[in-house]
A and B are shown apart, each in its own frame.
Chain A
């Protein structure tokens, strides 16, 4: 029963997916295994812009396929990884990099956590110091000394 219902729902969804077809050039893997290996490595470092939480390697989005095709073509033309990354950041900005570069705008991102750590340590040390300062030595009075000796003497007898 539920299966039939699901099937009916699925059928309802079908026409919509035919209507919104975009022109998509078929992605053809390179016949050079070296290029495919380089692409696999590089595309893990790059963000798919259409579905922003996926890498370019994983994404099924049309734009991701286009970009992979473009990267293959550039690798075939002898471009270095750095040149390809430069090509992409010129167009899509730093956002395409999963590992943002260290520039003045990303200083806070890179060094912020360490600043927070330092601030935390400073607060911790201040707290410890304050506590230590608040403890004052209290010399034993004659009465305290007599009681301590009495206790020691009695416990000495028990163990002996």
Chain B
């Protein structure tokens, strides 16, 4: 009896491992920056390039940074949802316009609307490199101390928002700064 149970057991273990492997998205990488300080930057604002925006300006607030571009097809899919997320008032939503032509970016916001408080312009993707961006859209949750607490690669679906981002933001909002 045991002679048959052992191979069967091994087979089931293999099936479980393969099932876990198959259900994971290979394009999704664990971020190296979770629980690390958000890289500092100072970039011109998209709608008013004479003004700048810096991650430092957001100290003491829980905020979201959404990396987007007009050439990014998945961003278009995600875009309307950001109006709802921003309207929920959970956290201020800022954009990082990544490797995009200025006029393309402005036209895109004109056409589809602008859910962001403002968007910072990362023309050459240098800030994106510091944040480990490897494909838009990407979304970062940054806490009151300026620490990256979560990164989501790909569109923030209502499921991701309500199960992962919103509870985390609410929890972080309850916490004070520890400085």
Binding site for B on A (CB under 8 A): 19-25, 49-50, 52, 62-63, 66-67, 70, 89-95
B71 located at the interface, meaning its Cβ lies under 8 Å from any Cβ of chain A in the complex: yes
- Which residues in A have their C-beta under 8 angstroms from that of B69? 22
Q: A20-B72, A22-B99, A92-B29 are in contact. List 11 more A-B contacts (CB 8 A).
A: A21-B71, A49-B134, A50-B134, A62-B99, A66-B124, A66-B125, A66-B129, A91-B130, A91-B132, A93-B30, A93-B132
Chain B interface, DSSP helix/strand/loop, else mixed: loop
Binding site for A on B (CB under 8 A): 26-27, 29-33, 69, 71-73, 99-101, 123-125, 129-132, 134-135
Q: Known contacts A91-B132, A92-B132; decide if A21 and B101 are in contact (CB<8 Å).
A: yes
Q: Which of B29, B99, B123, B131 contacts A93 (CB 8 A)?
A: B29
Q: Which of B27, B99, B101, B131 contacts A52 (CB 8 A)?
A: B27
CB-based nearest B residue for A24: B99
CB-based nearest A residue for B123: A23
CA of A62 to CA of B131, assembled, Å: 16
CA of A63 to CA of B125, assembled, Å: 8
- Which residues in B have their C-beta under 8 angstroms from that of A19? 71
CB-based nearest B residue for A16: B73
